[in-house]
Amino acid sequence: MSEQKRRSQTRMVPVPSESIVPERDLGKPPVLETHHLGIEFGGLKAVDDFNLTIGRTEIAGLIGPNGAGKTTVFNLLTKVYEPTQGTVMINGRDTKGMNITQASQLGVARTFQNIRLFSQMTVEENVRIGLHNQIKYDMFTGILRLPRYWKQERKQHTEALELLSIFDMQDLADVKAGSLPYGAQRRLEIVRALATNPCLLLLDEPAAGMNPHETSELMENIAKIRDRFQIAILLIEHDMSLVMGVCEGICVLNFGKVIAKGTADEIQNNPVVIEAYLGKRKEG
């Protein structure tokens, strides 16, 4: 498989913050850095001392058993939660005190584990919301239908269709988002996130509910998106064929702590990871 070949070609190199990035990204500032990131919910440490660096064009994976705190990490990175410890740096900027909207404007876009589309709106309108801060005009231009309104609306339309064509969804532009089949809804969430022109794309279980054929197609598309937009992608996934197939660096989380980091081969053979997933072999 070409995907696996690409992965084996990527050499991962360690960086000072106890993480690894692809060799090609070494000269560029990392897109995401977290230092000792942690959050407590009433004494429960959901995430503790989480350190991760992601390179400019890296595809990284975040895996771990159920309840390990993966989605909590995403919520910390997108400022749904304010961390109780540590820092999140996006594009070298500290996100302390920012809200979700400001984090998005810094270039973080995400999809959701439980799909959160604007279900009453059409597919195209969903993508247009993603373009909200890319192609702008103000309220009065819209109400008075000034020339700028028509110009920007046309621009939004072509841009939205072009983004939808990544997943061959341009024919569905006029369909209500809520009536799309499950797999298409997941793909639409990715398109909508891409429309915000991110530098870091967070995918929360993009292959959940997809059949093996759709999953392998998604895998190719993830690599395609990275190549085309030159962005970093961090994904949470339980489907190991996808994670091992497309991710360059993988971070394993258990009980809120990082238990292993490395390339796919390293993770697959790491005894701590195997224990976290399967339990310890009984002695004797």
Partner 1 sequence: MSVKQKKLIYNLVTIGLVAAAWLIFTLLLNHDAGVPRKERILSSSMKDQLIPICCWIVMAVSLNLVVGISGELSLGHAGFMSIGAFTGIVVSGWLLNGFAVEDATLRLVLAMVAGGLTAGIAGVLIGIPVLRLRGDYLAIVTLAFGEIIKNVLNCVYVAADGRHLNLGFINNNIAGTMLLNGPNGAKVKTIATVNAGFILVLITLVIVLNLINSRSGRAIMAVRDNRIAAESMGVPVTKYKMMAFVTAATLAGMAGALYGLNFATLLPTKFSFNESINVLVFVVLGGIGNILGSVISATALTILPEKLRFLQNYRMLVYAVVLIVVMLATNNRTIRAWFNTLSERLRPGKREEAKSHE
Q: Can you give the binding site for partner 1, defined by CB under 8 A?
A: 78, 80, 99-101, 104-105, 109-110, 112, 116-122, 125, 128-130, 132-133, 135-139, 141-145, 149, 152, 156, 174, 192-193, 195-196
Q: How far apart are CA 223 and CA 179, in angstroms?
A: 28
- The residue among 130 and 249 lying less far from partner 1, judged by its C-beta, is 130
Q: How far apart are CA 265 and CA 179, in angstroms?
A: 40
- The residue among 149 and 255 lying less far from partner 1, judged by its C-beta, is 149
The distance of closest approach from Cβ of residue 108 to partner 1 in the complex, given in angstroms and rounded to an integer, is 8
- The residue among 4 and 99 lying less far from partner 1, judged by its C-beta, is 99
Query: Which DSSP helix (H) or strand (E) runs through 187?
Result: helix 182-195
The distance of closest approach from Cβ of residue 158 to partner 1 in the complex, given in angstroms and rounded to an integer, is 14
Q: How far apart are CA 166 and CA 234, in angstroms?
A: 19
A 10 A CB-CB count for 10 gives: 16
CB proximity list for 219: less than 8 A, separation 6 or greater: 3, 241, 242, 245, 246
- The residue among 66 and 114 lying less far from partner 1, judged by its C-beta, is 114
The distance of closest approach from Cβ of residue 179 to partner 1 in the complex, given in angstroms and rounded to an integer, is 12
Query: Which DSSP helix (H) or strand (E) runs through 274?
Result: helix 271-278
The distance of closest approach from Cβ of residue 263 to partner 1 in the complex, given in angstroms and rounded to an integer, is 30
